[in-house]
Structure 1
Amino acid sequence: MFKRITEQPSHYNDLEQQSTRDLLTWINQEDRKVPEAIEPIIPQISEFVDEVHLRMMKGGRLFYIGAGTSGRLGVVDASECPPTFGVPHGWVVGLIAGGDGAMRKAVEFAEDSENQAWKDLSEHEIGENDTLVGIAASGTTPYVIGGLQKAREKNILTACITCNPGAPVTEVCDHPLVAVTGPEFVTGSTRMKAGTAQKLILNMISTSVMIKLGRVAGNRMVDMQLSNNKLVDRGTRMVMESTHVDYETANAALQKHGSVRSAIEALS
């Protein structure tokens, strides 16, 4: 019988009576369990990443769907790919139940529709070369389950990120990624350990896919968007290190060619 581990009582009690130091220490103790929960599923994540890479090499895109905290994490990860890796905004797409307004304010009952996710995905003309990741800490979110079911029927590669083994969401996707993080410090507050696990797994997926797509050289973000002075300075120093020119020459090349990669190629 399926039981939501993430909803089980906290190992700590009488929290309102504890000192600030104890609260922070105990939260940190719980947070340290998250990477340990992810380590055993690295082989499953690796297999999934390789399949995503193959599809994106053919022009496919990566979609995330989720509700509440899970949805917000997907939108954040997707939105960070263009500035970090210099890819078009449509390469990685994050959708949240209730629409963009739900990023700031919860939309009541938005996650309870089994049909809405597919409607949202259809607006982006999702197809067979694309990949869909459903994010649901509980593993029971109708919005996510319905979207994954429909995508699978359409031969779209699917995966889920959840923290409850045996959850319904694991049965409607090709690649269930289950990090068992255990009960939350505040009972049921899955924005804590479960949310951290989801964030880490999303980082692993998008970063490794982008590296495999050639969007990193060595360990450098050579295609990052130069959207502020800090990043222009960082890019200039990356060009300096790679080509051994002075700051002014590197900066001029960067401004002229528009990316670290192009500036390095021009000066090499």
Structure 2
Amino acid sequence: MGALIVFFLATFATAQSNDQSQSTAQGPSADLIKSIRAVLYSIYSRDGAELRKWIIADPESDAVLPKKPLSPLELSELKHEVEELEPHRVMPFLVDGELINVSAGSQYPVGAKTIYVTSFHGALWAIPVIFTKSGWKVDIRFWIAAAKKNSEKEKPSDPEMIARQFLLYMMAKRPDKLSGLTASKIEPEKYTAANNLPPGDLDQLIELCFEMPLLRARSGESYRMPSGEIVRAGNEKDTVIVVGLYGVIELAFQLKYIGGKWKIVPQHYFEMLRALGAI
């Protein structure tokens, strides 16, 4: 675990220290911020066609559009608010789960991804972005999952539910609940031993578990697990990668279909989140 925590601490430090060098008006971040602003404006202005120009293509993108249109005055105020936005980066740039260092003005590799955060229209937005052949695109699939969460309930047998339960019981310090969820035999107390947070803090973390949007990783996507292993989503019927947005942190969960049930490959998520400064 020690080497992994050093990796996550280093990546988080890199994200913070490089922000200033990445934010010049002539650097790639100018286009990135433009994409973020365009996406947020097109959502609240209910312009689905414009939204699709700035995002990773998703057939369900209209799910994030509000039902009530804004008045001309509200749209004018919205435009001014968008122009004043200054999103800040909270994660390093990664490609296939590996850290990359990019200096201002240099070319980002296709597939580079990170997460920005901004306060907009009374809400805190975690904004995943990906560099594509046509430039920076916002990845709104977590927002779509969140919008659909209330109308499409997870089933107890779904891999998404198993992933959520594993993280929930880890945060709630319930090792007795972990063993029945895992793909291999574990000593469950080891997965909650680092959790020394007081009840008030735990309540907030548990609430985040309930709110966390979860979805299946796209085929070919790679993620670094808390163990340090890089996993890649494929088309296997007995293995899936589920990805959640826990606050502003992407968490990947690997699940295997064993004995007619989905089981999670156990990982030390609490330690990883603490290393990233999320706990």
Task: Name the TM tier (shorter chain).
Answer: under 0.3
Q: Which has the higher contact order (CA 8 A, sep 6+)?
A: 1
Kindly indicate which of the two structures has a greater share of residues assigned to helix: 1
TM-score normalised to the size of structure 2? 0.24
Kindly indicate which of the two structures has a greater share of residues assigned to strand: 2
Larger of the two Rg values belongs to structure: 1
TM-score normalised to the size of structure 1? 0.24
